Structure formats: C-alpha cells, structure tokens
Structure 1
Amino acid sequence: MPNFKITQTLLNTIGSKSKYLLKFCYFLLVFILLSCGNDTKSKSAIEANENTPNETETSENTSSKTILFFGDSITAGYGLDDTNDAFPGIIQSKIDSLGLNYEVINSGVSGETSAGGKSRINWILNQNIDIFVLELGANDGLRGVPISETKANLQAIIDAVKTKSPETKIVLAGMQLPPNMGQDYTTQFRAIFADLAAENNIAFIPFILKDVGGVKKLNQNDGIHPTAEGHKIVAETVWEVLEHVLDSEKR
C-alpha cells in the first residue's frame, strides 16, 4: 500500500507539471505567431511606403501650367451667349484635346484700354503665369489715344510681367484699325505692335482679327466684335503662334 501511494503521488505531480508545460508551450507558440505576424505587417508597411509616390512629387507632376489672356472685349467674348465660345475657351478645348497640361485663364475686360490694363496688371500678376498673351490697344485706337501713349502703356505691361516673372513667355497680339481713322494714324497704330514685339523679343500675332475683321457674317451687328464662328477663326490665328510657344516650353 505505501508503494502505491508513493507511485500515485508521483504520477499526480508529473501530471500537474505536464499541464503547466503544455500551457507554457501554448503561450510560447502564440507569442511566436504574433511576433511573426507583426514582423510581416511591418515589412509590408515599409514596402508600401517605399512604393507609394511622394505626395509633393505627385502634386508637382499633376499641377497644370497657366496661359493667361490679358485683353479687352475680344478676349472677354463680348456679345456671346457663352463666354466659353470666345477664343480663349476654344484654345482651352484645343489644349485638352491634345492632352496638354495647361489651364487657360480669361482675363479680358470689355472696354479695356492700354491704360486700364496697366492699372490692373500688378494685381493680375499675383498668380503664377507661364504664358502671358497680351491683347490690348484696340479701344485706344478707336478713341484716338496718342500713339506714343498706347505704346508706353503696353511697354509698361510687358515690363511688369518680365520684372515679376522673368520665366513667363509673353505673346503680343497685334491690332489694326479701319481706314476711317485716318491713314497716318492707322499706319502708326499698326506699327506699335510689330515694334514692341521686336524690341522685347517676344512672340507676335500680327493681326488677331485676321480673316475676321471687316467680314460681315463673322461679326456681330456692331461690325466690331466677332460672332462665335468668328472666334473659331481667331482661335486658329492665335494657335498658329501659341503652338510654337508651347513647343518651346517643352524644351
């Protein structure tokens, strides 16, 4: 009997220790599995961070450049039912169809003179502008503003752009007047734009209303402002020059 009790006690002790050992092994196994899981997650997180593009880089890559049209009622699309039918809006559609990363801003004001443009240019330049298209002067001519004054105002606008943003490309749109303004005045007026373009070494559109000015069916009843069809032709005239400027931007 004593031997039986000793044997039974020994078995009970061993059984108790076995239970503790099994529990210890179980917890050890769980700990190892959890550790491996966390390690895998950490590696995955690191890999994900390495493969995720930098937000700043993504923003820089997707941000569009800006083309700003600074002009008068022709730029503004005076008399049109939808200002998107004005030539700047048509240019934007053209750019979008070609998959180019540019945003067009229409900064045309009906009735604007070169003096008015000069007074608001600093405010306009409070934004980033990659290409600046200057279309002013027609209202000066129709009002008989002295040639020297118009030229000085346009030069001041060009100087303001160059000073504020030397990298901005400038395109100057030329204008012509009807002959009833007088031969001398109309000749000198036309020369303003060619002279400014040459003196400042900037891109030049000789006559923005080419094939539109004086054509009755392409102008509104006032005989001055293009219809929607007229603006399509104006857009093509502008694009002939603007396209080359965009190409130079890529280089």
Structure 2
Amino acid sequence: MFAFQNTQLQLISLGSIKLKILKFCYFIVVMVLLGCGGDKGNDKSTESQMTTEKDSNENMVETTKTILCFGDSITAGYGLDDSSDAYPAILQQKIDSLNLNYTVINSGLSGETSSGGRSRIDWVLRQNVDIFLLELGANDGLRGIPLTETRSNLQSIIETVKKKYSDAEIILAGMELPPNMGQDYTSEFRSVFADLAKENNVTFIPFILKDVGGIKELNQQDGIHPTVEGHKIVANTVWESLRPMLN
C-alpha cells in the first residue's frame, strides 16, 4: 500500500516537474519571439531613420544652387600659391559665413580669349547654373583682336547660357585696357561690355579690377594679375552685384 502510494507520489512529482519544464520552455519561446519582434521593430525604426536622412540629404543637394565664374586668368587666380586666394573662393567664404546654400565653381582658364570661351561653354554648362559670371575679353584686347569678334563671341556665350538656363542670373564683368593700346581702341573696347550688358539686360560690373588695376602693390610683378590682397578687393567688387541675387 505504502509502496503504491510512494509510486503514485513520485509520478505526481514527475508530472509536476514536467509541467514546470514545459511551462518554462513556453516562456523561453515567448521571450525569444518577443525579442525577435523587438529587433524587427528596431530594424524598421533604423531603416525609417536612414530613409529620412537620405531624403533630407537628397533635398539638400537638390536645393543647393550654383554660381559659375567663367573667365580667364583673373578668375583662375593666375600666379597665386593657393587657388583658395582667388576671388571665386573668397566669394564662397562670404556665402558660407551667411549660411547661404550656394556653391561657387571656378571655371577660369589662364590665357582664355572670348573665342576660347565660346568653344568650351557648352561643355561647362553640363552642370546646372543659377548665376553665371562672365569675365572674358581682356586677352582679346591685349592681343588686338578685332572688337567685332570679341563682341560676337561674348554675345554668343550670353545667348547660350540664356537658352540652356532661362532662369539663370547673368553678371557681365567689364575690363579696361592700358592706355598704350591707343585711346580709340581702349574706348571702344570699354563700350563693348557696357553695350552688351544693356542689350541683354544683364547685371553689369563696369571694371572687375576696380581699385586694383594699375596699383602696383595690389598686382603681381607682371603688373596685370592681382595679388592675394588684390583678389580680396576684386571679390568685394563682385560681391556688390552678386549679394542682391542670393536668397
């Protein structure tokens, strides 16, 4: 009798233990499932955050506007040890200090003539342009190229920009020649830029080297290309026309 009872008690105990083990297993399974579900939730949250950041970055890229400085050695920063000392880079510094979303691109090429600029303008305009600064013609004058040719080339460049980017703002930078080129030629040369600006209704800078040209200490040894300090003044001259265009 006692043996039977003991056996029965043992069976009950074993059953109870098995039940507890079974419950514990169920508990483990539930915890694992909850854990997996939590990870999926975190994955979805992380994925959503990454998507939001990606969209935000894409919107930032899309809203960044471009200022293209298209010119010769003045724009290129000829003779400077660091291209960051040229006036386009200084313009970028001014823009960044105001937290404006614009990127300045230096597309200056030393020795460039208006004819050379006309030849490469289509290639340069492959990138989006919101503001276009045209600084060409000085090398034409120094080489005595017929002014009718210079005028035609500059006009073609302006028309190409307008055709490709009809909403783009255009700034035309004028240039002066030294007096040894002859009074008639230098006077007519000056009027080419003024006339083009008026005819095309674009913003005009009469002389991009204002307060720099002819001043020895602001020019390099060649007496033509601005020093670092000279480029700062050039940047200020351009900034007077550029700043009102920036949103």
Please say whether Structure 1 and Structure 2 have the same fold, judged by a TM-score greater than 0.5: yes
Q: Distance in 2 between matches of 1:146 and 1:226?
A: 26
The total of aligned residue pairs comes to 245
Q: Secondary structure at the match of 1:151?
A: helix
One-letter amino acid of the structure 2 residue matched with residue 221 of structure 1:
Q
5+ residue gaps, structure 2, are none
One-letter amino acid of the structure 2 residue matched with residue 41 of structure 1:
D
Distance 1:28 1:208, change over 3 A: same
Deviations for 1:41-60, whole angstroms, at most 9, x for unmatched residues? 33333344444424133233
Aligned counterpart, 2:82:
82
Q: Secondary structure at the match of 2:175?
A: coil
Aligned counterpart, 1:37:
35
Aligned counterpart, 2:126:
126
Q: Distance in 1 between matches of 2:221 and 2:41?
A: 72
Deviation, 1:62, is 5.2
Q: Secondary structure at the match of 1:212?
A: coil
Distance 1:32 1:117, change over 3 A: same
Q: Distance in 1 between matches of 2:42 and 2:79?
A: 60
Aligned counterpart, 1:12:
10
CA RMSD of aligned residues (A): 2.2
Normalised by the length of structure 2, the TM-score is 0.88
Distance 1:62 1:163, change over 3 A: closer
One-letter amino acid of the structure 2 residue matched with residue 20 of structure 1:
K
Distance 1:81 1:36, change over 3 A: closer
Normalised by the length of structure 1, the TM-score is 0.87
One-letter amino acid of the structure 2 residue matched with residue 147 of structure 1:
L
Deviation, 1:210, is 0.9
Moved more, 64-73 or 52-61: 52-61
Moved more, 76-85 or 143-152: 76-85
Distance 1:59 1:30, change over 3 A: same
Aligned counterpart, 2:26:
28
Q: Distance in 1 between matches of 2:156 and 2:55?
A: 36
Deviation, 1:78, is 2.0
Q: State, as a whole percentage, how many aligned pairs show the same letter.
A: 57
Aligned counterpart, 2:169:
169
Moved more, 22-31 or 73-82: 73-82
